[in-house]
Amino acid sequence: MTTVEQLFGGRTAVVVDDVVGPSRAGEIRTRLDRAGYARYALLDRGSYGVLADPQEPELFGALIEIAARTTGRALALAEVRALRLGPGDYLLAHHDRIHDDHPVELALDLSPASVPGAELHYRRRGQVYFRVPCRPGSLAIVDRGPTVSCNHTYVSKRNAAASVVRLMMLLRDR
């Protein structure tokens, strides 16, 4: 039988600060830049740079360990991608996938500097229940239920130097 808790999900939603220091984040950003982002521009859904399947096995292992400790679940990497948003960029909630198998999503903030207002919003039935501010080095850990969706908020053009880099990982039970 499906429980109410399983239906509504979102059991874990936390941000762990200082998971990655500024110099290591810079090194990772450089490798991601070298690997090359592709531009996504179907504008009714999003506008951002995306790098599918980046190769950072050591980092992934460390992040999975933090997620496993936090959630109490044995987890394995299912999907990973890096997103880079500049001024005017966004990723809308209806562009996000719905997951009905309760994966855990990680968002590691690799941005070079904090960008006020550039947030990750987790929504349940359309309503924001968890806001993740742009805080370099922090890791958001979110247990995603079938009613949870996510959007990356619009990055203002008033900050011409704004650059938001997020490593997005989806973990499933081992």
Which spans of this chain sit near other proteins (rule: CB under 8 A)?
41-44, 88, 90, 92-93, 117, 121, 123, 151, 153-154, 156-158
Cβ at position 115, least distance to other proteins in Å: 13
Q: How far is CA 7 from the centre of its chain?
A: 22
Site of tokens 């499933």: 172
> Would you list the DSSP string of 45-74?
TEEEEEEES---HHHHHHHHHHHHHHHT--
Other beta carbons within 10 angstroms of residue 117's beta carbon come to 13
Smallest gap from residue 134 Cβ to other proteins (A): 15
Residue 98 DSSP label: P
Residue with tokens 């719905």: 98
- The minimum distance between CB 167 and other proteins, in angstroms, equals 21
Nearer to other proteins, 158 or 174 (CB): 158
- Residue 44 or 53: which CB sits closer to other proteins? 44
Structure tokens at 29: 């950003």
Nearer to other proteins, 24 or 131 (CB): 131
- Taking the CB of residue 17, how many other CB atoms lie within 10 A of it? 10
Closer residue to other proteins (CB): 44 or 58: 44
CB 169 within 8 A of CB 79: yes
- Min separation Cβ 118 and other proteins, Å: 12
